Structure 1
Amino acid sequence: MTVEATTERVLRLLALLQRRPSWTAAELAAELGVTDRSVRRDVERLRALGYPVHATAGVGGGYRLAAGTRLPPLLLDDEEATATAVSLRLASGGTVAGAGEAALRALAKLDQVMPPRLRAEVRAVYGATETLTAPGIEIDADLLVTLARACRDAVRVRFHYATRDGEDRERTVEPVRMVATGRRWYLMAWDTDRTDWRTFRLDRMRDVTPTTWRFRPRPHPDPAAYVQRAVTESPYRYLARIRVHAPPDQVRELVPPQVGRVDDDHDGWCLLTVGGDDLNWLAAHAARLDFEAQILDPPELREAAARLARRLASMSGTG
């Protein structure tokens, strides 16, 4: 018997063990068209791969697949693979802490080995599905998978990117990690032309193409912290630093990570760093936190806060 035939039979045996709690050796031999001895050898092959196949002797005994200490390779039929892929696509954009990135890694692995016919079914099911989530910018799941693979395999990626001023430029980057802020997805990557770290909004990327160039991963900043700093500070005219008399976690509940960064400042205070192009908006945003606060920078924001206080006093008839 060829190695291919043996491998196919072992996979069929695994599928049978996953189908119901227990099988006798005779039942498995009949299903597979082999002898009891062949079943025992195939069971040993599965055990060598890490599958915990338990055997019990006597009347009512047989083989069963138990829980193990590590996760061996899974065998999915077409329906199971489709359902898993659709679920992972939905989870990759979900709100469960930590689930999005893990789902994306799993989706990249599954998509890599999935036959084209099943990929088409997954896209059809996913395209016919809606979810009630917070408003955000939708990203094509295929783009997420492409970038996830490039991050995993350390492969350079080339794409066209629309800048804030509307220009379209071709970029070549060494991708490290994708970061979801809740409303948007960002890619942290080393820009080979600018020889520096950059963040890219996925909704501004098009014609994303992995190259054949593999790169050696270089030391990099923490992706989540880097992206947060980039999206809360870099794009704006003003950068406000405000001391807030409240625990950091309490302020973080009111200030999303894509809006501002909150750091502990000891003794019951925290430091809020938030960017903006409108001083009046920044002053109103700080006031609505409803905590004692001190504006550190910029001086223009203190003037805007004073104007806001005078207007509010006038509106209330106390000014």
Structure 2
Amino acid sequence: MNRTDRLYALVEELRAAAPRPRSARTLARRFEVSIRTIERDLAALQQSGVPIHAEPGRTGGYVLDRERTLPPLSITPAEATALAVGLRALTGTPFAADARSALHKVLAVMPGHERAAAADLAGRVRLLVPASAERRPSVPTVPGPVCEALTAGRTLRLEYADVAGAVTGRTVEPLGFLGGHDHWYLLAWCRLRSGARCFRLDRIREAVMLDERAPRRSVDPAELDMLGWDLVPLGELGM
């Protein structure tokens, strides 16, 4: 069994045992490797976002949170390749790294033979990309507190630089994201300006999520001066 297949099998072994823990010694015996190898594998899974935690004590061990993981997916090699091709379009957006992480998680829970077939099919695909697109400056990832505040419905404290580089403090109520070819923005209600404003992600110097809940607000996109862009909700794209 190669390491990729062992990592997949480790997740399934812990899923089957959950909520009971499995010790590193038991797992090492199960997969016929050393305890040190199993501990490295478990650390790699944890670093990739798999919700595995260690329970201390004589009867402790490693436990997988089944509510935060996917069971093996009935996804075809063609569907997995389609996801990879579609996610390639996110290159140059704040979500490129998250897209790669999501694809890796999907592949990790596919059966081994289906995953191998998907890799073979993906290896036969080549994308034609304009040379200039590869030289575009990279867009920063979305700051963690911004995503957390949007999900939790909390306010944010931003240190934000204007076009001249002057930094001001803003308390904002995050509403969503606006994305375009050149820049990505946080759409938020700015308390300093008493209105909806767009904050370029690459100008956010610092973001801190506050304890205060953000009131629900509705903003008419027509009120935003976005250089005549058409704002298409993600839901209309099949999300």
What TM-score do the two structures reach when normalised by structure 2?
Answer: 0.43
- With structure 1 as the length reference, what TM-score do the two structures score? 0.33
Greater RCO, CA 8 A, separation 6+ = 2
Larger radius of gyration: 1
